[in-house]
A = this chain, B = another copy of it.
Amino acid sequence: MISKSLEEYLKTMYVLKKQNGKIRVTDIAKKMNCSKPSVNKAIYNLKDNELLNYESYGTIELTTKGEDLAKKILEAYDIIYLFLKDVLNLEEKQAQEEAEKIKSAITDETINQLAKYVHKVLDLKSLDCDYDINKERCRSCERRKVSKVAKGSGFIWQH
């Protein structure tokens, strides 16, 4: 298990890859408001965990394992973000900031319960929703979950 801090780096890399097609130290540092040496350390740490491939001055490429984990992390983030923004009515920016911090604090079990709840609350027609964070599709309403990475995150269930 990697640390919550490393998870943040991994998530950011995944998003940058989707947004820019490439992952650069400077861009990570900017996005995460940290120094480049911090990013560098994180890279080698993630590499040790086989979550990405990297050689000095080379390009950062997430491994399959890394990408899978990143998706899971991003989805958890999205669920919390959605709850904060659409249920608690926080401002988008604050919802983003807080979602990161909350995600870094709680267990998968709690995220899963929150996911179910958000799913229910945002669509009251499926009060008996069977949504599970580990499944691709809700058995009750047949929606699929789709993560919208491109602009500012947020995630949706699509028919």
Copies in the complex: 2
Is A109 part of the contact surface with B, judged by Cβ < 8 Å? yes
Is A124 part of the contact surface with B, judged by Cβ < 8 Å? no
Is A98 part of the contact surface with B, judged by Cβ < 8 Å? yes
In the bound complex, residues from chain B placing their C-beta under 8 Å from that of A106 are 98, 101-102
Is A87 part of the contact surface with B, judged by Cβ < 8 Å? yes
A87 to B104 alpha-carbon distance, docked (Å): 21
Looking at the assembled complex, report how far the CB atom of A130 sits from the nearest CB atom of chain B, in whole angstroms.
Answer: 15
- Assess whether A113 is in contact with B89, with CB atoms less than 8 Å apart: yes
A105 to B105 alpha-carbon distance, docked (Å): 7
The residues of A with any CB-CB pair to B shorter than 8 Å are 84, 87-90, 94, 98, 101-102, 104-107, 109-110, 113-114, 117
